[in-house]
Amino acid sequence: MADTGPLPSELLPPGVRARFVDNGNGLSMHVLEAGHEGPGAADRPTVLLLHGFPEIAYSWRDVMPALAAAGWHVVAPDQRGYGRTTGWSAGYDDDLAPFYMLNLVRDILGLVAALGRRRVAVVGHDYGSPVAAACALVRPDVFRSLVLMSAPFGGPPSLLPDPAAAPGVATGLSNADLTRDLAALARPRKHYQWYYSTRPADRDMRDCPEGIHAFLRAYFHMKSADWAENRPHPLQAWRADELAKLPTYYVMDLDRDMPATVRPEMPSPAAAAACRWLPDEALAVYADEYGRIGFQGGLQWYRVVTGGHWGRELRTFAGRSIDVPSMYVAGASDWGVHQKPGEFERMQNGALTDLRGVHLLDGAGHWVQQERAEAVAGLLVEFLGQTRG
C-alpha cells in the first residue's frame, strides 16, 4: 500500500481540511477536520465521526460544516484499513489482531490524545457504530456522549447462554449452523458477512467486470431509499427462514458474489445523474480510494466478527450498559435497523440507559448522513448542544 497525500482541498467543502495525525497506535490517521480555525478554536469541544463500510471519512463531508458552525471541532478519520490512513496491512493471511475491537478503540483513544483532548463526543455509522459504542462502553470518562447510526448496539454478549432464549435464536454472528441452514433453504442463500470473510470477496469487488465505480453506484443505490424495495420490518429470530426475508445485499443468493447481487438493480444513467446525495463526482472519490487500496482492509473487520474474536473481547464487559447520553439515528428505509433480530429492541431496553432519542428519517436508507445530511446535522447539533456540558 503506497503512501499518498491528504485528500485534495478541491474535493472538500469550504472550511474542511484534510491532514494526517499520528495516533500512537501504529497509524498515521488521515482525518478530515472542521472548526479548527478562528477565534477560540482551541477551546471548542470535539466530536469524532466514525464511518463504516464501504465508506471513508469523506462520507461525513456534508455534515461537518454545520457542526463546525454550531461551535464544534469536528474530526472524521479514515479508520484502520480504510482510505489514506497508513500503518496497517490487510493481506488475507495477515494477523487479524490489529482489527480486534479493543484495538480499534485504542486507535480512536490515540487520536483523541493526539488531538490534545481529554473528553469528546463520538458518532458512528454502520461499522463505525459498534466501534463508537465500544468506546463509550469501555471509556465513558473520555467518550462523554454517543450517537449511533444505522447499526443498533444491544450490549455486549452475555457470559453464558440465555436459558430462556427460544429454540433457534442465536446470540450473534458466531452461530455455526447459520451457513448450513441458509444454504439448505429452497432458495439457497448465504449471509453477506460470511461472504465478506472469504478470500475471493476483495477480488470479486475490486476486479468486477463493470469496474469499481459502477459497482459502488449499484451498491449505494440498492441500500438507499432510492431503491423502492427497501421496506424494513422487525425479524422474529436469528433463524435462516427469518433472515431470508432480508434483501439480497444482506442475505445473498448462494451462487452470487456481491457485484452480481447488486448489478441487476443498477440505476439508469438518468437516475444516477439525478442522485443529489451522491453525485458522480462524489462517488468517484470512493471509487478512486477503493481502486487504489482494495477492499480487504474493511473486510478484515467482518472476519474478526465471523471468527468470533469480536464477541470474545466484548464478553469481558458482559452485563455492562452504556450510561452516557446517547441518540440513535437511521433511515426509515434502512434494513440495518433490523438486520440483527432483537438488537434494536435491546438497545432501547437497557443497553443504552440514557437514550435521549430514536429517529428514523423518511427519505433515507442505509446512508443516512449522506441521503439526509441536513436533517442529520440538525439532530446532531441539537443533541450535542444539550449534552455539551
Query: Within its chain, how far is the Cα of 4 from the centroid?
Result: 24
Instruction: Specify the DSSP class assigned to residue 58.
Output: G
Residue type, 58: Y
At 330 the pLDDT is 98
- Please calculate the CA angle 45-149-34 and round it to the nearest 5 degrees: 35
| d(C-alpha 151, C-alpha 337), whole Å | 6
Short-list 68, 256, 55, 286, CA closest to 150: 55
Query: Within its chain, how far is the Cα of 244 from the centroid?
Result: 22
Please report, in angstroms and rounded to a whole number, the separation of the first and last CA atoms in the chain.
Answer: 42
- Please calculate the CA angle 378-381-384 and round it to the nearest 5 degrees: 145
196: Cβ contacts below 8 Å, ≥ 6 apart: 258, 299, 302, 303
Which pTM value belongs to this model? 0.96
| d(C-alpha 131, C-alpha 82), whole Å | 14
| d(C-alpha 337, C-alpha 190), whole Å | 20
The C-alpha cell that represents 233 in the structure block: 420490518
CATH of 9-160+314-386, one of 2.40.128.130, 3.40.50.1820, 3.40.50.720, 3.40.710.10: 3.40.50.1820
At 171 the pLDDT is 44
* 3-class SS of residue 25: coil
User: What sign does the CA torsion over 281, 35, 82, 275 have?
Assistant: negative
Number of residues in the chain: 389
Residue 274: other Cβ atoms inside 10 A? 11
- Burial letters 199-220, b for 16+ CB under 10 A, else e: eebbebbbebeeebebbbbbbb
At 168 the pLDDT is 41
| d(C-alpha 204, C-alpha 198), whole Å | 10
| d(C-alpha 93, C-alpha 76), whole Å | 29
> Could you list the pLDDT tens digit for every one of the 389 residues in the chain?
556 899 999 999 999 999 999 999 999 999 999 999 888 888 999 999 999 999 999 999 999 999 999 999 999 999 999 999 999 999 999 999 999 999 999 999 999 999 999 999 999 999 999 999 999 999 999 999 999 999 999 999 988 876 555 444 444 444 678 899 999 999 999 999 999 999 999 999 999 999 999 999 999 999 999 999 999 999 999 899 999 999 999 999 999 999 999 999 999 999 999 999 999 999 999 999 999 999 999 999 999 999 999 999 999 999 999 999 999 999 999 999 999 999 999 999 999 999 999 999 999 999 999 999 999 999 999 999 999 86
At 358 the pLDDT is 98
At 163 the pLDDT is 59
The C-alpha cell that represents 188 in the structure block: 439457497
- Per domain, the residue ranges of the chain are 9-160+314-386, 178-298
At 331 the pLDDT is 98
At 166 the pLDDT is 43
* 3-class SS of residue 74: strand
At 47 the pLDDT is 98
